[in-house]
Structure 1
Amino acid sequence: MTEFGWRRFNFFDRSTVYDKEDPRQKFLGLKDVAVDCWCSSGGSVYLGETKGGVFQLTNQFGEYFWKAYQKSLASLHSADKYLFSIGEDDETVNTLLKIWDPERVEKNTPHVMRTIRMSPLNPASVSPACSIAVHSSLQAVVVGYADGTVLFYQGDVLHDKGLTSKWVRVRDASSIEGAVTGLAIATLPASKTVIFVITQKHVYSYVLENGKTVIAHKKHDANGATADCWTFDESTGQLIVASREMLFFYDADQCIDADSGEIGRCLQLGRGHEKLQLVANGQYLALLTKHHSLIQKEKDSEFMTMLSVYDIKGQYVGFSCSLPNLCRLFIAGNTMLILSHDGLLSELIEKNLATKLDILVKKNMFDVAVLIAKNSKDGVDYLKGIHAKYGDYLYGKGDYENAIHQYKETIGMLEPSYVMKRYLDSSKIKELCIYLECLHDAKKDNEHQTKILMNAYAKQGEKKKLIEFVNKITDGSRPSRMRDVFEILLKWNYLPEASLLATKFQMHEDALNVIIHHMHKYTMGVNYISRMPVESVIEMSGKYGRDLLLHAKEDLMIMLWEKIRENSDSKNNFMRLLDIFMGDMESSQAFLNHVLSQTNKEEIDKLIILILEYQMRTFETKEWTEESLREDIFKYINKNNEEDVLQMAQLFDCTPVIEHILMRCHKSKELMMYHQKKEDLDAIIRLCHNCSIEEKRHLWLDALTFIGKHATAKNEPVIIELLKEIESSELIHPLVVLELLAKNEHLTISSVKDFLITWLRKQQIIIEQDRTTIADNNKSMVELDSTVESLKFNPQIMQVTKCSACDTPLQLPTVHFLCKHAYHVHCFESYNTDGSDQCPACQTTYHSSRDEEISYHKFQKELAEATNGMELIAMYLQRGLFDEKKKWKKHEARKDPFNSTGRISTNANPFDDDEITTISRTMSTVSSNMAPSRQRSTTRRDEDSTNPFFSSDSGNKKNSYDESKNPFGEPSTNPFD
């Protein structure tokens, strides 16, 4: 069988049905059954004989037979679970409509629910009813007669009493058309019903409103059909009619409008052959056609029957085979059964989807395979694999364009690199773009594939597609790829698009790079920066500021000034932009002045380091005066930043700044070393003039040492000035000065002549003063010796009557002191806790006043500030700094039993043994540097420190002063003694 536009595949297997009770025997339960009509209901099929018998065959091939009519059976129809039949019980024309309930069997016969006589309903004719159709809702039934009459009833078919009398005549009798061979009912919205009427010559459709009035009818172009050559699908409302040449398809909803012209469509199936039977099963149509037999084995085998199964959706022949001339085709459940004239029953078993697809792929029928897979429930799982093989097939044939359309369908299953490798050739770049576009639309692409697609667009010159693709990407949800997109646009010189893309995704640095370095639109770059946050303004200005300063200087400065005026806090430190002004002193100075003018005092402290760094970077290129140094540098230096500023000053060799910091930090020694390293004698002398008193001696010694090594005759005026200052301070012995200067062979005696003469004159004056002092001291000592002798050898009168401790009259035993104090013995012992033999009142008062005068801290402070240390030490020696050890040892604080009039008070001596040792060491060091004349002028303390006023035998005790603690007992270390 060859059909135009249809392809044939063996998708069904014909299998003989065997007896379930004896699987070795073929099923012959329907042998000798002459099937005249049939219908299916659920899993059963009802086969009607002309003589009135009905066979029920289940899908498990169980049989059941009953006699429905006594004379003849014309038509069967099933609706819901009920069976409807039309037939005759006697010889007269008395057609009966019977409604059977097959599930209710009585006396081996299904229960008859209703019987309606149809002949009285059509009194104008004596023709019997020959066809019936019932709607599945059991609310409508239509009956056709042999003379062409059609009656319709709408209502409850099972229970309405009107079913016996109230029918609507849809079609009148027509002797030309002949008997009605087929009926179908389709219900539509708006209470409309369409009734299809089939005769052997024509096909009609009638539209009824409310089931009572025919409002339209139409004769269709089909030539009519026999009772077995049509089929109707109530669920879709489609009627299929088989004529000799064509199969016609009509839809019920198209029949409502009578003026719509031609209705339906047709297919050339079994063209040129007589149609014997048409059966529909799902998407398949089984068609029996009559053919001439080429091989005649018997006399009756001149003709043969061809069975063809068509897939209407796929337009292919799924099965085709030849059968005996006499056979019937019917449906049981979802199985198509073939009944031969000899009673042999066969079934058509559809092959599984995988097998069918494998058959098609092996035959390279990929388009049919795709169609079958799409129309199948589980076909989606096979589609991508079919498309992949189809693509490979077309690619092998050189059909790259169609192949790529197949590869598009494999996205998600086939690895994209497999396809891309095949289309990387420049001649196939167009097809590659198509595939990559689909890959992107499916969101299965990666960054590498995006790059390839964009480069392919650019290489083809497809700017429009490239921009559309970029816009599609930017509207999507994958901004991480914007970097690659930007680089490709920049690579192919799509500068405006690249800048817009970078701007949209806030890739500010990239946008400015394009605008400034590639497009050279500097004013646009300044405007772009001005719209950014302050921190970004500073960052971007730092990166691109030098280019903008060269080409858009005025715009840049205005923009920066506005931002500085709006934001002056430390977070937005515009001083970081100073680097962009390097080499442009005018602009840098203007910028710096503007920053300072717009910054408050608190914020200036945070800018100081940057300001000072900038000033020192340009230190050598500018002439600095004392005033400018103070205004531009010195006033910004404070304790918090002086270390950092000093390091910068040393880095940039800013001598005035170094001097200023070291002087304010009292680091004259470091400054002296710095000047000596630079051999700057003038700076050294200036340092000696400006240093503090505490630093002068050490700095002068360093200066004299440097002069002794490096000075020349031309430096004599400076040296003379230095010696005058040394002379006035008397901190350095002249012999030391002479010894240091004598090492320089370039200096002459004239440089120290005046210094030596002045010193000798002063020494002469000091000698005369010392002689006078010695004479006065000798006279005082003679007077003191006389007093002591009187106390030792002359009697003393004691007239004190009250105790100096308790202020009560004295009672023996008592203790009397030469200082005019007296005590009860028990009072004396009570307050004399340290075992001393001295007067408690005098001892406390003496130590209290002396402690106040010779406080350790006071002594240290005065010694540090004194210009003549030896004179200060001599004064403290006169006050008894180095008294007996027993009077200066540490002891616990005592309670003060005396009031301010002479009572004992508690006051610890601050100069204990350790302190005296410390003081002695300090005095020894200082005294070695003093002039000998001052040392000789110091009076010595009387060696006998014993209290001369103690009346007991204390006068016989020897002095216990420890001479080893006297700092002046050691040999003098003064080299000029």
Structure 2
Amino acid sequence: TSRSAIKLWSVDSLLRHEDTQPVVVKYQQPTSTPYPLTAVAATPSISQIALGFAGGHMVLIRGNILKSKSTKQRTLHVAPEPVTNLHFVTDAAGTRVTLFATTTAQTMVFDTSGSKSEPAVLEERGCGIGCSLMNEEDELIVARDEAIYTYTVDGRGPCFAFDAPKVLLRRFKHYLLLATAAPSSMAPNLANGDDRPPVDATESRVYSYNDPTTFTILDTKNKLVAYTGVVPGGVRGVATEWGSIFVLGGHGTMDFFSEKDLLERLDILYRQNLYPLAVKMAQNGNYDMASVAGIYKRYGDWLYSKDDFDSAMLQYVQTIGVVEPSYIIRKYLDAQRLNNLTSYLQELHTAGMATSDHTTLLLNCYTKLRDEERLNQFIHTQEDYQFDVDTAIHVCRQAGFYEQALYLADKFSKTGMYLKLKIEDQDDIKAALEYMRKLGDTDISAYLAEFGRRCLGSLPSETTELLVDVCLNGMDVRAAAATADDMHDDMSAPYADTTSLLSMRRI
């Protein structure tokens, strides 16, 4: 077997233009037939280096590699197909080292912390060279022709469809950079048009080409395609440095991409009416509540202009506390969309942002819609009543919803209103008299003075009995007597006392 070497340079020393020599790490070819090296990975401390070969061998080199010439090498695994990618992950404590590996037919993981490292196969499918990477959450990202997959040491995680033959996968911030094989008929285009989403490309070349590659930038945070275009001659390399992306083309070209600021990106999405994406992008960009509500308002206005009133209302509800309610209320009153308006007013009350005018309008909506179920739900299930009770009783009474008005009057001790409803609206004198019997001395006298005449006209016996009880029990006798005198004004006058006109003696 032959020996080969890996050379490691200190980039800091090179940048300082120091005369530095590389660290040479020699390794033994795992077979008598030398296969090409197809994958290399190293831990951040360079305490472990993994090598993958086209013959399927995976070799692990361990030791104090930077300072010692003495290192240990062992064959970690032998796969029946070529090794395509290797990635190390070290835990926060630095004690456990994990190696993810892919071949053309398998995805697997090894624990390389100990002396034995048996592979755990995550899936019986692999990927091509350069088509996997580790993300910030230490998850393995694998790009296959039909989709992008994620893996942890425990198995496969979420995936999302992206159907195209993958050539290269790289990462930049929360973006995935993909090179995919493109049909030769596609015209080259790396210039970012005015309405393309949010990555800027500087490009002014026109080329003939034979093997174009489509270069795509996926925004994984906001779930959108940030850019797509064709690189003439194919993508030969991708570098991410200085906050930018550099793409080396097969014709010796270099394309430069920089991220637009958030306002520019949002403006592009507005022009395309991609408001849900704009909301998500603003939230991910830590926009304040008022700014996000402004986007919801834009979205609602656009949907409203399309006569999609239901969907528009879903957006307007998100603006409560920021956008003046009268703006939305006026729109839906003009359109006579009472169901939508009712939903909005309910949310206003739930948020504690409703005024007595809003309560009046909501109850009017219920009554006009004859929606007794929602009216009952509104007045019966409110734990903290965020509305003006007198207004609510008045609206229910005017619309003929007497039971609802009585419920509120009784619950909030609006005795005068309760008796008016029972006597004047329902003509239920008996129930009114029974209700008055439960009142205190002063209260019963006052209400007898107000309603006694009507009660006496309908139920004279029961009313008289109540008056007698008031007097006999000492319940404000003078007030009750005055009430009785007043109530008898309209009755037939009693016989005059004429005993003085007769002479009388007992025999």
TM bucket (normalised to shorter chain) is 0.7 to 0.9
Instruction: Give the aligned CA root-mean-square deviation in angstroms.
Output: 4.4
- Mapped pair 1:316 → 2:220: no
**CA displacement 1:393-417 (0-9 Å, x = unmatched):** 3333332222222333333343333
Residue 123 of structure 2, aligned match among 213, 220, 230: 220
Match of 1:172 in 2: 77
SS at match of 1:364: coil
Q: Distance in 1 between matches of 2:207 and 2:315?
A: 55
Give the aligned length.
477
Q: Distance in 1 between matches of 2:119 and 2:413?
A: 70
Amino acid at match of 1:580: T
SS at match of 1:357: helix
Residue 132 of structure 2, aligned match among 230, 233, 242: 230
Match of 2:312 in 1: 403
Q: Distance in 1 between matches of 2:59 and 2:467?
A: 98
Match of 2:161 in 1: 267
Q: Distance in 2 between matches of 1:435 and 1:299?
A: 57
Amino acid at match of 2:421: V
Match of 2:210 in 1: 302
- Mapped pair 1:286 → 2:187: no
Q: Distance in 1 between matches of 2:216 and 2:456?
A: 88
- What's the offset of the Cα at 1:343? 6.9
1:106–1:353 CA distance, 2 compared to 1 (3 A): closer
Amino acid at match of 1:277: L
SS at match of 2:413: coil
- Mapped pair 1:525 → 2:432: yes
Structure having the larger proportion of residues in strand: 2
1:250–1:211 CA distance, 2 compared to 1 (3 A): farther
Q: Distance in 2 between matches of 1:421 and 1:550?
A: 49
Q: Distance in 2 between matches of 1:513 and 1:304?
A: 85
- Mapped pair 1:181 → 2:85: yes
Match of 1:338 in 2: 247
**CA displacement 1:243-293 (0-9 Å, x = unmatched):** 3x33322131651xxxxxx75424225x2x4x3322212332222234326
**CA displacement 1:316-367 (0-9 Å, x = unmatched):** 3222333342642111253222345687655312222222222222233334
Amino acid at match of 1:581: A
Q: Distance in 2 between matches of 1:215 and 1:320?
A: 41
- What's the offset of the Cα at 1:295? 7.7
Q: Distance in 2 between matches of 1:286 and 1:518?
A: 74
- Unmatched 5+ stretches in structure 1: 1-90, 256-261, 589-617, 626-977
1:188–1:218 CA distance, 2 compared to 1 (3 A): farther
- Unmatched 5+ stretches in structure 2: 189-204, 501-507
1:246–1:552 CA distance, 2 compared to 1 (3 A): same
- What's the offset of the Cα at 1:312? 2.8
Q: Distance in 1 between matches of 2:46 and 2:483?
A: 95
1:381–1:124 CA distance, 2 compared to 1 (3 A): farther
Match of 1:537 in 2: 444
In terms of Rg, which structure is larger? 1
Q: Distance in 2 between matches of 1:214 and 1:177?
A: 19
Structure having the larger proportion of residues in helix: 1
Contact 1:104–1:111 (8 Å) recurs in 2: no
Contact 1:220–1:263 (8 Å) recurs in 2: no
**CA displacement 1:525-552 (0-9 Å, x = unmatched):** 2333333333323322322233334445
Match of 1:516 in 2: 423
Amino acid at match of 2:161: L
- Mapped pair 1:242 → 2:143: yes
**CA displacement 1:892-942 (0-9 Å, x = unmatched):** xxxxxxxxxxxxxxxxxxxxxxxxxxxxxxxxxxxxxxxxxxxxxxxxxxx
**CA displacement 1:741-784 (0-9 Å, x = unmatched):** xxxxxxxxxxxxxxxxxxxxxxxxxxxxxxxxxxxxxxxxxxxx
Contact 1:529–1:537 (8 Å) recurs in 2: yes
Match of 1:581 in 2: 484
- What's the offset of the Cα at 1:159? 10
Q: Distance in 1 between matches of 2:408 and 2:457?
A: 27
Match of 1:832 in 2: none
Match of 2:407 in 1: 500
1:192–1:215 CA distance, 2 compared to 1 (3 A): farther
Q: Distance in 2 between matches of 1:444 and 1:353?
A: 31
Match of 2:365 in 1: 456
Structural mapping, 1:54-65, within 5 Å: none
Amino acid at match of 1:516: I
Match of 1:391 in 2: 300
- Identical-pair percentage: 18
Q: Distance in 2 between matches of 1:236 and 1:553?
A: 85
Q: Distance in 1 between matches of 2:359 and 2:429?
A: 32
SS at match of 1:475: coil
Contact 2:111–2:117 (8 Å) recurs in 1: yes
Contact 1:502–1:510 (8 Å) recurs in 2: yes
- What's the offset of the Cα at 1:205? 2.5
Q: Distance in 2 between matches of 1:134 and 1:527?
A: 90
Contact 1:250–1:265 (8 Å) recurs in 2: yes
Amino acid at match of 2:150: Y
Contact 2:2–2:34 (8 Å) recurs in 1: no
Amino acid at match of 2:390: R
- What's the offset of the Cα at 1:127? 6.0
Q: Distance in 1 between matches of 2:110 and 2:266?
A: 44
**CA displacement 1:371-410 (0-9 Å, x = unmatched):** 4333333375543333333333333333222222233333
Q: Distance in 2 between matches of 1:554 and 1:160?
A: 113
Match of 1:420 in 2: 329
Report the TM-score when normalising by structure 1: 0.43
1:298–1:280 CA distance, 2 compared to 1 (3 A): closer
Match of 2:504 in 1: none
Structural mapping, 1:727-876, within 5 Å: none
Amino acid at match of 1:476: D
- What's the offset of the Cα at 1:585? 6.5
